Amino acid sequence: MSTENHDPVDAVPQRDEDDDDLDLLTYNEARARLAEEVAVEERHLAELRQRAGTAPNSALDDTIAGSVRRLAGLRDALRRTATHAITEANAAEFYGRDLKEFET
């Protein structure tokens, strides 16, 4: 179940561990997993930045850049899954193309 919040982007969803539906993820379940991954990656990035300190280290800098990209992707996915109803206005963002392209 997700926590109640009026802004779906800022809501922090929670996993329902008692749910036996293992073959499909609901939006809330997907958001819960994404939120967990965001938290893990944020901690990882903070640790990397702390290790980097002020000393230049190109290998560590590359790892930090990769973590920043992954975190941005996870946050973007979390934002995209906040929309539950697919409308003509948001279909292109959700599906990657306009709803009219699905019409036969």
Structural domain boundaries in the chain: 27-102
3-state secondary structure of 13: strand
Per-residue pLDDT at 65? 96
What integer pLDDT is reported at residue 82 of this predicted model? 78
Distances (CA, A) of 84 to 8, 44, 75, 79: 9, 30, 17, 11
> What's residue 63's pLDDT?
94
Tell me what pLDDT residue 9 has.
Answer: 55
pTM: 0.58
Q: What is the pLDDT along the chain (104 residues), one digit of tens a residue?
A: 444 444 555 666 666 666 665 667 777 888 899 999 999 999 999 999 999 887 778 889 999 999 999 999 999 999 888 756 677 777 777 777 776 777 75
Gap between the Cα atoms of 12 and 35, Å rounded: 7
* CA atoms 95, 96, 99, 100: torsion sign: negative
31 burial (CB, 10 Å; 0-12 / 13-18 / 19+) is buried
